[in-house]
Structure 1
Amino acid sequence: MKIHSLDLIVFLIYMLGIVGFGVSFYFRKNSAADFVTGGGKLPAWALGMSIFATYVSSISFLTLPGSALQGNWNGFVFSLSIPVAAFIAVRYFVPLYRKLQNPSAYAFLEERFGPWARIYASSCYLLTQLARMGAILYLLALPMHVLFGWNIPLIVLFTGLGVVVYAAMGGISAVVWTDAVQGIVLIAGAVGCFVLIVFQMPEGITQIWDIARRDSKLSLGSLSSDLGQSTFWVVLVYGLFINLQNFGIDQSYIQRYKSAKTEQEAKKSTWLGSLLYIPVSLLFFVIGTSLYAYYQVFSDSLPLELQSIEQADKVFPHFIATVLPPGISGLVIAAIFAAGMSTVSTSINSSATVILEDHFKKYIQPNPSQNIQIKVLHVASLAMGITGLLVGLAFNGVESALEAWWALASIFSGGILGLFFLALLGKTKTNVPPIAAVLSGLAVIAWISLGEFLPDTIRPNFTLHKNLAIVFGTMAIFMMGFLLGLVFNPSKREEKVI
């Protein structure tokens, strides 16, 4: 399958335009604060669009329609947990981080438990971002390789270098404003695809509805209490914990809290970015169901190799390439790349901030000049971006990149949320309870995530869905730390001294 020359022109113009727009912010910043928080002057709507664009990676753009096409709307339950997490974020997390003088999300952990907690959390965050960038770049390249014959390493290099250039040069202002543009392109592309599917159907939207109801494609999942299956409750609880992790301890979100002009503006951006994702994710599921109905009617137009369940994620790109008019398909392909680029650029910028605040300033040069800070941010952005690009190349040939990413994310980031809740709600300031709690939580996460690789003697003899690893890991850390905190709690006299 060959891409039309007009699509290629549209795609290249978009890519060059977005990179050029991002690079232009290099000439508008004068300090490290401009690079990290935009000087605290970014508007709420742009920050909200940036939060939204970070939510919608290229994985979402491709896998959500594929999930609806091969199954039902069970995955949409994840989005239903967002309002609860956003409310907690607006009520507690935004005020907490706005009060902290340090732009790092992990300075709070150091205040509560000492330097080890900050080193642990920030290092886990950096490892998570490398895995995330690599997985997104690879998963972005895979369908383009299958559909258009583009070389996977070249796609990873081309996309990765483009993002690295503007994220490293322009700082968070470049990231936020390019995210805002890319979020709009993404929504427009998705809406356009759905409208075209409806117009292609002989009986319009009612035919899609009838086929979807006939084949039970609109279910949100089983309401059973089986923790080994992807039930409504398993996805809802998993979504709640993942979203609390995003809002509570993800550096990229915390930077956006601090980039707003006021606390009220930060709260508005959080509501906008999180709530906008709900209808857009619903739109992706609607597109998947509509594609199912479309290829029920036009079954001859779907190649045999794409008709298996395992190939469901490639059906939407196939539709884009074969049904959309030339030029429009190029814009939608650009929207898919936009989804990936916005997430990767966010990871680069937030990782550079963590390297400067949590490592360089703490252990190399405590009071660097503005010039040195900006140089460190540039170098750290380049280093993280290129390393993430190399991780993306290393994913080439992995049997399931998405499952590999989930496993790595569970191990690297699963323990931080529990530690954050322990810092927020726990009583002790000694090191023994939180360290013991983190070790126990990581053991639980590894036991659930990697159970099939463990020896028979310690392998779980019951089934838990892997998405529950972060749920039980977080609970184990908090409960263990809280109970040990009661044992190691200082005496009343010591508390008065403190």
Structure 2
Amino acid sequence: MSSMLIRNLSMGAWVLFFALACQSRPSTVGPELRKRAVQELQQGMEKQEQWVKVHAAEYKLWLDYTDGVLETFLLEEEKWDQLSPYRIGVWRVLAQADPASRDSYIQKILRAFEDRNGPDRVHAAESLAKLGESLGDLSPELTREVVEGPVNSLYVYTLWSTLQGSDTAAAREQLLDLALNPERDEIIRLQAAFALRSEGGFSATSWEKVARAGLQEPQGSLPSVYLLSAALIHAPEEDRNSPILGEVKNALRDLKEAPSKGVRMEIAQALGTAGSPEDLPALVALFENENPLMPEAEVPGEDLQAGVNADVRAAAAYGILMLDRRQEYSLAWADWFVVAAYLAGMVGVGYYFSRKNKSERDYYLGGGKMNPVAVGLSLFATLLSSLSYLSYPGEIVKYGPVIFSGVLVFPLVYYVVGWFLIPRFMKLRVTSAYEILEINLGVSIRVLATFFFLSLRFLWMGTIIFITVHTAILAIFGVDPSYTLIISILLMGITIFYTTLGGLKAVVFTDVIQSGVLMGGAILTLLVVTFSFGSLSAWFPSEWLAHWGELQLGVDARERLTIGNALLTTFVWYLASSGSDQMSIQRFLATENARTARKTFGVSLLTTFVVQILLGLVGLAVLAYFTAFPHFLAPGETVTTHADQLFPKFIRVGLPVGISGLVAAGILAAAMSSLSSGLNSTSSVISEDLIKRFTRKSRAPQKQMAAVRNLSLFVGVFALLLSLLISKVEGNLYDVIVKVVNLFVSPLFVLFFLALFVPFATGRATFLAGLGSVAIAVAIAFFKFLGIEVLFILPVSLGVGVLLGTILSFLDVRLLGNTETMEKRSRESAIFKGFGESDKSARADTGKRTGM
């Protein structure tokens, strides 16, 4: 009876979950209206004439509906290259549609401005201002001549363009005086107000002056509508609910039937840019052309009423789509429930395994007999942290799939690590990997390695916390950034709790679960995108995208990424991480022998291969999704400028209710998986390489467990504090990871390489080689040494370190006569081990005979 009840409850829970998953998120603008608005802009660009075409194309570009704009206006340029002033509008569109050729079009517009007797000077100055170019920088002498001359349209637009330069306060005050002065010509006031609306930057006092001036102007006058628009768009945050702003918005709404095309277009843009969902009916009324305009007095030279009203409809379509883009999406209660249940489960796991740890060996190595498949999945989850989970899709969005070609080198990685590194580690059953360095090269090298490792892992954990919170949690959950510290403390606190309770067993167990969640989240994303497009082929790119740059095959340290660079960097990273990182070596030593350790590494590589391919596909999927549905991007966001935020944003807006929470839990899983491994391995190194070295007190097993738990707590708190400093590092996610997290990866492996593979390596030469490797890594990362790209930090710092250590060791032995080489120390250590730990006198005798 009870089992049947449990089955029924479980089935009911799944039915409820999938019912929630089938729900759609509410939207201010419905799909049908959105589709019609996009079609209106497309038709305006294709079928209308001249400036209506320009406006429609610019609206498309500003909304990221870029399809067809470049092709259409290249044809317009070929056809109308000599037509004034329309050619200026054509060049302005092309400067925005073709970033690679932007400078050439800017120069064409600039030449039109510099032609004192040309017909296009005013339009050229206006276009340069709209494009964000400063005439004060492009043509300083001519600009000075204009702004010291008569106040006319050329004067206003030239002055506006100088707001893009360094000294803007004086120009803004001049424009403000022109816009607010009722004695000035109406057209001059209109143009000045339009410039202020476009740029903003008001003080609280200036904003109130603009708002009140707009309200006091005669209703429907051209200066009034632009002053009101400027007041609405640039209202200070503290005045968003003020009575005066309410008056401004009402005054704009009342003008939706004004007999002026310019007024109607400005109202549509203002309400779309800074309005609220309540303004949608006014925008729809403009879009539906409920009160058509007559063109006689409005647009001299145009004899088609359709063209005049098409301009208004295009502006209304833009306003509707802008309002759509400004909608805020949030997670449903079902999403929060999934995340909360997951976090509670992690705490439960820690409590369960805390009862099974009886000694330090249980805590740090899981007793030394853990399942190799489980340990392999744990190693994968550790190395593929939330940094990778978030940065890989962003990397492929912005730079293409080149970085993922690195998986082709995995067979070579498996062979080198499995047959050259793992057997050497398994010969020495140590708790800390850095005991190997002391055996072969002395205490100083072990201490240096400990410093490298701790620096690496503290920076790594701090970066995980920072990026997980700032890039994922704030974006997915829509939490106010002021709660960042509280969220970071909560994330780290839960991780510390279950890690310090359960030790490596808890880490491995949760890593296995989290591996499944990670892969499941990626697969769910691919399924949802495929369903949205109707098929896999519909979103998979059929050609190399232009913004990815040129595909290059060879190895070039001065290129950010080539196929050769990706292969080399991937090989060096896995070699260095597997051959020097306590987190990797710790998992090898947690298995029974070299064969099972090799199996562990193979499972890790295979799983990483699958998930990297999945994450690469996720990057392509979200790129296609937001390219096709740019209304989910906030104003000002594009797929290239906000590449790192696309995957977290898709989790919030693209996945069904309930599934969003599951994938969000996957990202938390990735973060906590890596943090838990970092806590365990870092506290292990501190305990074995620092505390036990400098303190000789023995502890009972119970006190040992309390000590290591307290140590893990200290490590977690320190990493949390360090995360507050990561925001100072510049670059996108992938660059930050390489600069900060990978800074010590190669230098650390330099020490192990010399200790394991260079028989004549000496301690002091290795010490200098390690420092030299760090120095070159820092020089490349933060000072662009020799123009070497940051993604080449790993191979260059490894090569420099190994070469420097080898040469210095050779000179140390041959010229300085140093006999304390790796080969000699390793041989003597083997002799000591033959006597056993308890045979003190034999060890002493041997020490005398060997001169130690």
TM-score, normalized by the shorter chain, greater than 0.5: yes
Partner Cα separation in structure 2 for residue 219 and residue 54 of structure 1 = 32
**What CA distance in whole angstroms lies between the structure 2 residues aligned with 1:16 and 1:23?**
11
Separation in 2, partners of 1:49, 1:463: 38
Alignment partner, residue 435 of structure 1: 767
Aligned position for 2:556: 226
C-alpha offsets along residues 63-99 of structure 1, whole Å, 9 cap, x if unaligned?
A: 2112222231012133333332222221122222222
Q: Deviations over 1:224-245 (max 9, x none)?
A: 4432111111222111111111
The reply to whether residue 259 of structure 1 matches residue 259 of structure 2 is: no
Q: Label 1:295 to 1:413 Cα distance change in 2 as closer, same or farther (>3 A).
A: closer
CA distance in 2, matches of 1:410, 1:316: 23
Give the TM-score normalised by the residue count of structure 2.
Answer: 0.55
User: How far apart, in 2, do the equivalents of 1:64 and 1:492 lie?
Assistant: 47
Contact preservation (8 Å) 1:361, 1:367:
no
Instruction: State the SS of the aligned residue for 2:724.
Output: helix
Which residue, out of 487, 490, 512, partners 1:158?
A: 490
Asked if 1:199 is matched to 2:527, the reply is no
Matches within 5 A, 1:45-124: 45-124=373-452
Give 1:472's match in structure 2, choosing from 796, 810, 815: 796
- Contact between 1:73 and 1:217, CA under 8 Å: does it hold in 2? no
Quote the offset at 1:173 in angstroms. Answer: 0.4
1:172 aligns with 2:504: yes
Q: CA deviation at 1:139?
A: 0.5
Tell me which residue corresponds to 1:142.
Answer: 470
Aligned residue number for residue 614 of structure 2? 283
Out of 351, 354, 376, which is 1:23 matched to? 351
CA deviation digits over 1:162-202, x for unaligned, max 9? 10111111110000000001111111111111111111103
| DSSP 3-state at the match of 2:451 | helix
Look up the match of 1:12. Answer: 340
2:708 and 2:342 map into 1 onto residues whose CA distance is: 27
Q: Contact 1:36/1:172 (CA < 8 Å) preserved in 2?
A: yes
Contact conserved, 1:228 with 1:464, CA < 8 A, in 2?
A: yes
Ranges in structure 1 where 5+ consecutive residues have no aligned partner: 453-459
Cα distance in 1 for residues equivalent to 2:628 and 2:778: 45
After superposition, residues 477-488 of structure 1 pair within 5 angstroms as 477-488=801-812
User: CA separation in 2, counterparts of 1:445 and 1:399?
Assistant: 16
Higher Cα Rg, which structure: 2
The letter for the 2-side match of 1:231 is T
Contact 1:76 1:220 in 2 (8 A): no
Correspondence for 2:787 among 441, 463, 477: 463
Partner Cα distance (2:388, 2:449) in 1: 26
Structure-2 separation of matches of 1:84 and 1:66: 27
Distance 1:52 1:470 in 2: 20
Q: Distance in 2 between matches of 1:192 and 1:409?
A: 29
Instruction: Report the secondary structure of 1:66's partner residue.
Output: helix
Q: RMSD of aligned C-alpha atoms?
A: 2.5
Q: 1:414 aligns with which of 746, 752, 761?
A: 746
Q: Return the offset for 1:28.
A: 0.8
The range that moved more, 424-433 or 312-321, is 424-433
Q: Are 2:374 and 2:512, in contact at CA under 8 Å, matched by a contact in 1?
A: yes
- In 1, are the aligned partners of 2:462 and 2:720 still within 8 Å (CA)? yes
Task: Name the CA shift for 1:308/1:374 in 2 (closer, same or farther; >3 Å).
Answer: same
Quote the Cα distance in structure 1 between the aligned partners of 2:639 and 2:539: 21
What residue is the counterpart of 2:363 in the other structure? 35
Deviation string for 1:264-294 (max 9, x for gaps)?
2221111001121112111111111122223
Residue range with higher mean Cα deviation, 407-416 or 41-50: 407-416
- Partners of 1:258 and 1:266 within 8 A in 2: yes
TM-score by length of 1: 0.91
More deviation, 240-249/80-89: 80-89
The CA distance in 1 between the partners of 2:525 and 2:779, in whole Å, is 42
- In the other structure, the counterpart of 1:44 is 372
Contact kept in structure 2, 1:85 and 1:247, CA below 8 Å: no
Contact 1:449 1:469 in 2 (8 A): yes
How many Å separate the matches in 2 of 1:89 and 1:356?
Answer: 27
Alpha-carbon distance, 1:370 to partner: 2.9
Equivalent residue, structure 1, for 2:517: 185
Deviation sequence 1:399-436 (CA, Å, 0-9, x none): 55844553333544432111111111112354332223
Match of 2:710 in 1: 379
CA distance, structure 2, for counterparts of residue 85 and residue 471 of structure 1: 15
Q: Tell me which moved more, 346-355 or 51-60.
A: 51-60
Mapped to 2, the partners of 1:27 and 1:102 lie a distance apart of 24
- Is the CA contact 1:306–1:312 (under 8 Å) kept in the aligned structure 2? no
Q: Is the 8 A contact 1:75 1:220 kept in 2?
A: no
Structure 2 partner of 1:457: none
Secondary structure, aligned partner of 1:489: helix
2:777 maps to 1:445: yes
Preserved CA contact (<8 Å) 2:466 2:723:
yes
Counterpart Cα distance in 2 of 1:333 and 1:16? 15
Q: CA deviation at 1:350?
A: 0.1
State the percentage of identical aligned residues.
Answer: 28
Q: In the alignment, which of 245, 257, 260 is matched to residue 576 of structure 2?
A: 245
Indicate conservation of the 8 Å contact 1:212/1:218, yes or no.
Answer: no
Pairwise CA distance, 1:379: 1.4
Residue correspondence of structure 1 range 484-495 to structure 2 within 5 A: 484-489=808-813
Is the 2:456–2:741 Cα contact (8 Å) retained in structure 1?
yes
Describe the SS at the equivalent of 2:463.
helix
**Cα 1:163–1:200 shift into 2, 3 Å:** same
Tell me: higher relative CO, structure 1 or 2? Use CA pairs within 8 A at least 6 residues apart.
1
Change (3 A) 1:320 1:476: same
Q: Which residue of 2 aligns with 1:2?
A: 330
Which residue of structure 1 lines up, in the alignment, with residue 455 of structure 2? Answer: 127
Quote how far apart the aligned CAs of 1:213 are.
2.4
| Counterpart for residue 456 of structure 1 | none
Deviation at 1:134, TM superposition (A): 0.9
Alpha-carbon distance between aligned partners in 2 of 1:295 and 1:2, rounded to the nearest angstrom: 18
- Gapped regions of structure 2 (runs ≥ 5): 1-328, 828-848
User: Is 2:743–2:777's contact at 8 Å kept on the other side of the alignment?
Assistant: yes
